[in-house]
Amino acid sequence: MRNKMGKKDNKKGKTDKQEKGKKQDSGLVQQMEDDGHGATYSDGHPHDVVQYLEAKLILKPDRFTSVESFRDFGKLMQRTAKKAGVGFIADPETGLRPDIREITFGDTPDFRLYNNAFILRRRISYVDGFPVGDPEIVFKFRHPDEQKVAALDMRPNIAGKYRIKFKAEALPLKDQIGGYRFLYSPNCQFGLSQMHDADRASMVTLTRVFPVLAFLKKSDEEKISLVNEGIVEEVLLPLGRLDFGKGIVTKCDVALWRTRGKHKPLVGEFAFQAKFEKREEVHQKAKKLAEQFFITLQYDVMDWIALGTTKTAMVYRLKGNAPQSHE
């Protein structure tokens, strides 16, 4: 997405950005309209198509010093929603304790997965200090080229259950607020119990489960390990639901990622996500309202925003490394 739409301002700089945005007016709206039909994988299965739009603002971590700071951001977001004409339904859990989840990433020592736009993540939920449920494995390919992404068969070779969630992820532009760009990401998700291999860290196992990674394996002895030995603690607070009209109601939340142990804050994030069966079924009015809200919110919380990064990128840079990134 390359649209720019500034909010109204008498200053010439913002007016210029607005005019540029009008000329490039495709953005979030177009992402809900374009769709690929007819293309198939090698076994005849149709290519996965985008069925989720997830909008994200990456936030400065030093803003989050207590649960009240999460709620403070929520109040700012609600003001923007009201100003933009977006409905908001509060989540009763906003007044409770945040959710806690543990997140780790796996990769080769030379970050071969991430350097080729692949991400392998494990997530564990905690309740009252103890892990609950089946750890979730997420394997994704994230890249700005939608056609390149859609052509990859991300289905796992496992006997258990899994699902593919193909997302268009909207982020601010890398160098300034008031616009946005897209990363496309088919997410393969399954519970760890659905994968029965004994040596889950072996590249032999990994390339068998995810055949799309076969070209990355250099030897049968290779193994993956925790990226930068990092274990991330995610503190997440549900804020509520945003109602863009015409049946488009999205959950929204705000989160902080910090290192486990030292509790070093890494990055914050505000996100909302819409799901649809077919892009063409999403009403034009709802699309435009979501676009306007996302851009207006950037201006309203500009002091909170961190540009040019993602949560995953921050983990890969924990030790000062700068791996190649397609994000």
Q: What is the DSSP secondary structure assignment for residue 310, as one 8-state letter?
A: -
Residue 20 reports pLDDT greater than 50:
no
Q: What does the pLDDT look like over 106-165, one tens digit per residue?
A: 999 999 999 999 999 999 999 999 999 999 999 999 999 999 999 999 999 999 999 999
Residue 321 reports pLDDT greater than 50:
yes
What is the radius of gyration, based on Cα positions, of the chain?
20
Q: What per-residue confidence (pLDDT) applies to 7?
A: 39
Q: Phi and psi dihedrals of 242, rounded to 5?
A: -100, 130
Residues of 300-314 as b/e, b for ≥16 C-beta within 10 angstroms?
A: bbeebbbeebbbbbb
Residue type, 256: L
Dist CA 277 CA 206 (whole Å): 31
Dist CA 242 CA 274 (whole Å): 10
Percent with pLDDT over 70 in the chain: 87
Confidence band of 224 (pLDDT split at 50, 70, 90): very high
Residue 21 reports pLDDT greater than 80:
no
Q: What does the pLDDT look like over 78-89, one tens digit per residue?
A: 999 999 999 999
223, 277 Cβ separation under 8 angstroms: no
Residues 6 or more apart whose CB falls under 8 angstroms from that of 72 comprise none
Residue 305 reports pLDDT greater than 80:
yes
| Alpha helices (H) in 48-168, listed in sequence order | 67-84, 112-115, 146-150
Q: 3-state class of 141 per DSSP?
A: strand
Cross-strand pairs, 55: 170, 272
Q: How far is CA 9 from CA 12, 133, 164, 299, 313, in A?
A: 8, 50, 42, 11, 34
Percent with pLDDT over 90 in the chain: 72
Q: Are β-strands 181-191 and 118-127 bridged in parallel, bridged antiparallel, or unpaired?
A: unpaired
Q: What per-residue confidence (pLDDT) applies to 191?
A: 96
Residue 322 reports pLDDT greater than 70:
no
The four Cα atoms 300, 305, 308, 312 give a dihedral, to 10 degrees, of -130
pTM: 0.86
